[in-house]
Structure 1
Amino acid sequence: MEMRQRRRSSNVDSDELPDKTSIPLVIATILREEGVTGVHTHVRQLRRYLAECGTAVTIVTPFSWGRPLTVPVFGSRLILERFSGPASVAWYRHWHEVFLRNALRRYLADVGDCIVYAQEPLAARAALCVRRGPHQRVVMAVHFRISQADEWADKAQISRNGTTFQAIRQAEREVIPQVDGIVYVSRWAQNVLLHWLPAAAKVPSAVIGNFVAPLHTEPYREPFGDLVTTGNLDIVKNHRFLLEVLAEAKRAGRSFTLDVFGDGPCRKDLLRQTRSLGLEEQVRFRGFRPDVRNLLPGYRAYVHASYSESSSLAIIEAMAAGLPIVAGDIGPISELCNDGIESRFWSLDDPAKAAATLIDLLACEPTRLAAAGAARERFRRDFDADVVGPRLRSFLLGMTPPPPGDTSQGYPKHPLP
């Protein structure tokens, strides 16, 4: 209660937005309402924060419309996936956008002024196509790495030389410059998008990092283990590297435990690799746990091996739990934590060298505790919901409609496909 009172009596909320608190916010996404991705965490944390601020929030997904049809229509993708990755991706994108567009059309017809906060370019395109006028503003979040085409390619679902890749890039070229605002979750995400799509620079934007609520958990008397990592078990997350590092550390005489939280297509391969490296007694695959945040303080360090990120809520949540971070210096990671302070950066192409980095951190408890304390303080300063939430809320609700008669910022400036 004290936190809520402090939030309502300070920050930018009451001072900068006195007449905008009643503007409803519509979060649009092609994903399910609940899930384990970073986008899901972003939305979940934002909804929690805005609810405490008294801002009305509605989430609209493809599953908000035509639910009886979702199983046969969306399920057909699984059949296509067996024969053609690109066809499966095209099917997924097309039908999820169709269902989301219908859901948004129905919802936006019944509201006046509002902000549609789209979590993907497809969601932004759906909102632009069906909004009732310029009084319904569309702001897009850039969670993706470079382009969504690159993300599908990273998962080996499409080829960078294929027509599906080019079609996704072309759709983004047409849609992104037409939104009313852009939220970049990292400076890196902004730079790489503007590198290939300079037209996006004309759109009002802000770099506002991800955030989570503080973690209020009593310290565990006995640790669960040495290392922990969370996230989908897919190619990009690079869990194979973590297993190779543990094997190298074992050869050097140090046996560390690792708990892996998450699920995904690489699970079977990772289990086989664990057995082949003789790590069955050290590695536990814990699956998806909705309460994983509460378990993080029971470990000594958080390890991260992903080689492509636009940000990392997993790292932010680990710092909130007071864990030192061991990760590769890729993309935006250096925006989240500093090598030698909150984190240790390891080489993602040399497991033996990475194992040495890990051993150095965990071999000296005062050093580990200093990094843990720095991580907790960095979270409080830069990623606490009470610090970042007001900035995102102010930017979103600041996307006011143009004056009456101004048609320069209304419906899509060019016809959308």
Structure 2
Amino acid sequence: MTRAIVIATIMRPEGDTGVQTHFRAYLDYLHLRNQPSELITPYNAALWQVYPVFAVRKLLIGVFSVWWYRYWHAHFLKQALRSYLQSGKDCVIYAQCPLSAEAALSARVSENQRVAMVTHFNISQADEWVGKGLIEKDGYLYRSIQRFESSVLPRVDGLVFVSKFIKGELINRIPDIEKVASAVVPNFLPDPGLPDESDAVADLISIGTLETRKNQQYLLDIVAALREMGQPLTLTIVGDGPDRVMLEAKARALKVDDLVRFVGFVNNAAQQIALHRACIHVATIENLPITLIESMARGRPVFAAPVGGVLEILGDEVGGLALPLNDAHAAARIVATALGNREWMLVTGSAARKRFVEEYASDFAAKKLTAFLESI
């Protein structure tokens, strides 16, 4: 009998983060194949307890806010998992972060309830909180989160790395995980279909939280450089976050606010990609950004800084081009030359689409993930 796959996450069931996109895509894949599956979140616990406790976080700032979020989301997820797992049913618990993995390890009641964890984060969840400006690098909570990860990851039954980059980084930081069964499986998506080329009514799109790590300031520098070159191109920035006010002010200061649209948070943001000629992404560190995969799925070329797992998507630059992170004018020249070459756009868009189908579509990658989870 096929074992159930239980996805455990501290996040809400719905949302547009890369993590939520990942587990929703996987649930869709499992459902289409009649594979027993379940999504367990803190919101499976008693909501009369959950909502008042979570509401308190709005009154907290900085490290207190982060601690509260981590502690209580893990607490209620553990409650929900204990309720689900208490019968001892055979399953694989597919945890979406170290907190989810620890909750699963604590809640399981049988060795036939295996725990695997996927490494969505960049380097460490501690570094992601630093990037949001909520904790200090090398502060007490930062070190505590890293110690927690070093304790949890070697104890799981399986590890899924979404890029070779993050596998190398984590083995270097936590050598004991080399003993854990593992597989490298990239993020994936159900095939959205290929939009018509005429659907594109704007030039560039960037999707992501507006925070320091995503580096949208540099995008504005590139747009300004394009205007200086006499090649004004439009840029749509989709997403919200702590840097929005600063970014809007910088766009005005650079006199590119007529070329840049800040549209804020948008449900199903990936659908906006078809309205643009190409996707641009210049984060300073990335594991395996799902935004680029969403663009390739729609046959749109990508321009991206070759950091972390992005190199694995760009590969030999068949589906897009690498941009320097330290020279906005050089990056602008690359973008302007490419978008001005209709043949390149057609060939590269087609190649991007082909790479998606062969490497990042659910039919390929989710099948590989399922085989690994069942093997542990």
Q: State the TM bucket, normalised to the shorter chain.
A: over 0.9
Superposition map of 1:177-188 within 5 A: 177-188=154-165
Corresponding position of 2:4: 24
After TM superposition, give the deviation of residue 352 of structure 1 in Å. Answer: 1.4
Corresponding position of 1:16: none
Please report the RMSD computed on the Cα atoms of aligned residues, expressed in angstroms: 1.5
After TM superposition, give the deviation of residue 222 of structure 1 in Å. Answer: 4.8
Aligned residue among 39, 52, 57 for 1:59: 39
Corresponding position of 2:342: 365
* 1:49 to 2:29 alignment: yes
Q: Percent same amino acid among aligned pairs? A: 37
After TM superposition, give the deviation of residue 223 of structure 1 in Å. Answer: 2.3
Supply the distance in 1 between the matched residues of 2:120 and 2:303 (Cα, whole angstroms). 22
Supply the distance in 2 between the matched residues of 1:269 and 1:71 (Cα, whole angstroms). 32
Greater RCO, CA 8 A, separation 6+: 1
Q: Is the 8 A contact 1:112 1:136 kept in 2?
A: yes
Superposition map of 1:213-292 within 5 A: 213-219=190-196, 221-292=198-269
Corresponding position of 2:146: 169
Q: What is the letter of the counterpart of residue 58 of structure 1?
A: E
Corresponding position of 1:5: none
| Structure 1 residues not aligned, in runs of 5+ | 1-18, 400-417
Q: What is the letter of the counterpart of residue 95 of structure 1?
A: W
Superposition map of 1:65-76 within 5 A: 65-76=45-56
- Name the SS of the counterpart of 2:278 in structure 1: strand
TM-score by length of 2: 0.96
Supply the distance in 2 between the matched residues of 1:91 and 1:290 (Cα, whole angstroms). 27
Corresponding position of 1:115: 92
Supply the distance in 2 between the matched residues of 1:111 and 1:57 (Cα, whole angstroms). 16
* 1:352 to 2:321 alignment: no
After TM superposition, give the deviation of residue 269 of structure 1 in Å. Answer: 1.8
Supply the distance in 2 between the matched residues of 1:354 and 1:339 (Cα, whole angstroms). 18
- Name the SS of the counterpart of 2:192 in structure 1: coil
- Name the SS of the counterpart of 1:221 in structure 2: helix
Supply the distance in 1 between the matched residues of 2:296 and 2:11 (Cα, whole angstroms). 27
TM-score by length of 1: 0.87
Supply the distance in 1 between the matched residues of 2:135 and 2:224 (Cα, whole angstroms). 32
Q: Is the 8 A contact 2:13 2:41 kept in 1?
A: yes
Supply the distance in 2 between the matched residues of 1:110 and 1:288 (Cα, whole angstroms). 41
Q: What is the letter of the counterpart of residue 221 of structure 1?
A: S
Supply the distance in 1 between the matched residues of 2:333 and 2:191 (Cα, whole angstroms). 32
Q: What is the letter of the counterpart of residue 274 of structure 1?
A: A
CA deviations 1:240-291 (Å, max 9, x no partner) are 1111110111011111011122222222222222222222221112233333
- Name the SS of the counterpart of 1:279 in structure 2: coil
CA deviations 1:53-98 (Å, max 9, x no partner) are 11111111111112123333222223221xxx22221111111111
Q: Is the 8 A contact 1:234 1:265 kept in 2?
A: yes
Deviates more, 1:232-241 or 1:308-317: 232-241
Corresponding position of 1:77: 57
Q: Is the 8 A contact 2:226 2:333 kept in 1?
A: yes
CA deviations 1:222-243 (Å, max 9, x no partner) are 5220111112222211111111
* 1:129 to 2:109 alignment: no
After TM superposition, give the deviation of residue 155 of structure 1 in Å. Answer: 2.1
CA deviations 1:5-52 (Å, max 9, x no partner) are xxxxxxxxxxxxxx4x2x111111111111111101100110011101
Q: What is the letter of the counterpart of residue 365 of structure 2?
A: V
- Name the SS of the counterpart of 2:168 in structure 1: helix
Q: What is the letter of the counterpart of residue 367 of structure 1?
A: W
CA deviations 1:271-317 (Å, max 9, x no partner) are 22222222222111223333333332232111001111111110001
Supply the distance in 2 between the matched residues of 1:192 and 1:122 (Cα, whole angstroms). 19
Supply the distance in 2 between the matched residues of 1:271 and 1:103 (Cα, whole angstroms). 42
- Name the SS of the counterpart of 2:137 in structure 1: coil
Aligned residue among 121, 143, 147 for 1:144: 121
After TM superposition, give the deviation of residue 111 of structure 1 in Å. Answer: 5.0
Q: Is the 8 A contact 1:339 1:345 kept in 2?
A: no
Corresponding position of 1:206: 183
Supply the distance in 1 between the matched residues of 2:363 and 2:173 (Cα, whole angstroms). 34
Closer/same/farther in 2, CA of residues 223 and 230 from structure 1, 3 Å limit? same
| Structure with the greater alpha carbon radius of gyration | 1
Supply the distance in 2 between the matched residues of 1:101 and 1:222 (Cα, whole angstroms). 46
| Structure 2 residues not aligned, in runs of 5+ | none
* 1:100 to 2:80 alignment: no
- Name the SS of the counterpart of 2:60 in structure 1: helix
Supply the distance in 1 between the matched residues of 2:45 and 2:88 (Cα, whole angstroms). 17
